[in-house]
Amino acid sequence: MAEKKEIRHAVLKRREQMPAEDWRRFSDRICKSVMELEPYKQADCLLLYVNFGREVDMAPLFRDAWRKGKSTAAPKVLGDGRMEFYEIRDFRELKPGFQGILEPVEGTAVLTENRASEEKGASAENAALTGNTAFPVENVFMVMPGVAFDPYGSRIGYGKGLYDRYLALHPGLLTAAVGFECQIVPQIPAGPYDKKPDWLITEARSIHCGSSFM
């Protein structure tokens, strides 16, 4: 089985060579498939990444969510290496941040560690004072990127572990990983701290990887 570093290098090369026309067409198809998922339809808040390079374009999902009155939040990498999500209502609320990726300029954190603590018994007043938005985890749906995936839901990111750590802090959060068919490999070596998505969506198929939510 190939090592993660080798898989990452090979798949990134394939993905970045994708013609722009295919990237736009496949991204639109993937976003439409995500919109058909029940957790997406039922969510009050969506945690969506801001695409970089040839990652699946998230603009259709942001716009669809805003039309439907859903809250949206985008990730921001903090100085200590943690990732947090902040509400945005317009693409103009983004600016280049970590590694040149667009991030929220400012906003209200959604489902932070403090929010997770509140769910375990801390007071709602404390949560309000920290600037958190009170979206219970069951009303939130995350769409996450990745470099490579296998048909069983194992995923390779960019090697920072940002999503794995975030999901470990928010158990029960339903997720869909999105990628192109050129990013699918036969098998990925999974580590003990790797978090699988509940769905894997490509331009050609939707794979249910986990959770009992159908």
* Binding region: 4-8, 50, 55, 155-163
Distance CA 174, CA 145 (A): 14
Q: Which residues are annotated as a binding site for substrate?
A: 50, 55
The residues near 44 (Cβ < 8 Å, ≥ 6 apart) are: 70, 71, 135, 139, 140
Distance CA 148, CA 2 (A): 12
> How many angstroms separate the Cα of 86 from the Cα of each of 41, 75, 157?
21, 6, 21
Distance CA 199, CA 67 (A): 24
Q: Which residues are annotated as a binding site for ATP?
A: 4-8, 155-163
Distance CA 138, CA 69 (A): 17
